[in-house]
Amino acid sequence: MAHSLEGRLALVVGGSGGIGAATARLLAEAGARVIVTHTARSAGAAASLADSLPGSGHMALPADVADTASLLALRDDVRARCGDALHVLVNAAGFTKPVPHADLDALDDALIDRMFAVNWRGQFAAVRAFAPMLKASGDGLIVSVSSIAGQTGVGSSIAYCAAKAGIDVMTKSLARALAPEVRVLAVAPGVVDTGFVPGRGADFNAKIAASTPLGRVGRAQDVAEAILACATSLQYSTGTTIVVDGGRSL
């Protein structure tokens, strides 16, 4: 098979979520052995996902990206079970809480700190933990899920936009720092139909679809396809962010 990921190990941090689960499935369909992570909220769903993937050796393991010790425990567990080389790390964990941009007082310090701990520091901490294993593969790849919010400044809160802009710039820095053994990319979705933002429903999606050039909101599958392409087709790309937004940011 052209672009096969046979014999490769992929870790999808946040693999229990909408985009993470769709990505895990495509990576497994391409031949990779896939590990998905979950928090305490979704252990059962993550285990069912791992069991349902095509191929063998897939697993669901716990990790809280805001807790570096849990990422190091995950790294040790993955190494003990799968060996020293990791080929693909997908950073798909994230959280948000809508805060109107003009309501500066509502974006308090605790929420800002949590937003950056989960949406920026957690992605960096995962890279830091797994960089030696990615390098050991000789042909590693990191794909972080960013957002067009990081480019447009329009998004669920100002802190969320800033954290995602931070992912884009981290992607450039890490691409330089980890080359040539590891490529580093980000994928920036527009609005995607998952449970990510509390309160979004059919009415919201219809409104977004009407104001998006391609006439619909994104599906988790759209983003997963872009992440798969990073692993298969885009072999000469590193340090850039691929926008997958139906033209929403135009």
In the bound state with ligand NAP, the residue whose beta carbon lies nearer, of 147 and 212, is 147
DSSP for the chain, please give it.
-TT--TT-EEEEETTTSHHHHHHHHHHHHTT-EEEEEE-GGGHHHHHHHHHHSSSS--EEEE--TT-HHHHHHHHHHHHHHH-S---EEEE---------TT-GGGS-HHHHHHHHIIIIIHHHHHHHHHHHHHHHHSSEEEEEE--THHHHS-SS-HHHHHHHHHHHHHHHHHHHHHTTTEEEEEEEESSBSSS-STT--HHHHHHHHHTSTTSS-B-HHHHHHHHHHHHHT-TT--SEEEEESTTTT-
In the bound state with ligand NAP, the residue whose beta carbon lies nearer, of 125 and 178, is 125
Options 26, 89, 95, 131; binder of ligand NAP; rule CB under 6 A: 95
Task: Quote the least distance from Cβ 227 to ligand NAP, whole Å.
Answer: 10
Q: Which stretch binds ligand NAP (CB under 6 A): 25-33, 60-68, 79-87, 128-136?
A: 60-68
Task: State yes or no: residue 39 binds ligand NAP (CB under 6 A).
Answer: yes
In the bound state with ligand NAP, the residue whose beta carbon lies nearer, of 192 and 242, is 192
Tokens of 243: 């926008």
Task: State yes or no: residue 246 binds ligand NAP (CB under 6 A).
Answer: no
Task: State yes or no: residue 145 binds ligand NAP (CB under 6 A).
Answer: yes
Task: State yes or no: residue 17 binds ligand NAP (CB under 6 A).
Answer: yes
Options 32, 34, 50, 65; binder of ligand NAP; rule CB under 6 A: 65
Active-site residue, 160 included: yes
Task: Quote the least distance from Cβ 181 to ligand NAP, whole Å.
Answer: 25
Task: State yes or no: residue 18 binds ligand NAP (CB under 6 A).
Answer: yes
Q: Which residue is nearest to ligand NAP (CB)?
A: 17
- Alpha-carbon span 18 to 227, nearest angstrom: 14
Q: Which 149-178 positions form the footprint of ligand NAP (CB under 6 A)?
A: none
Task: State yes or no: residue 147 binds ligand NAP (CB under 6 A).
Answer: yes
- 60: nearest Cα among 80, 45, 75, 72: 45
Q: Which of 120, 124, 130, 160 is catalytic?
A: 160
Task: State yes or no: residue 64 binds ligand NAP (CB under 6 A).
Answer: yes
- Alpha-carbon span 94 to 202, nearest angstrom: 22
Residues carrying an active site annotation = 160
Provide the binding-site residues for ligand NAP, judged by CB under 6 A. Answer: 14, 16-20, 38-39, 41-42, 63-66, 92-95, 118, 145, 147, 189, 191-192, 194-196
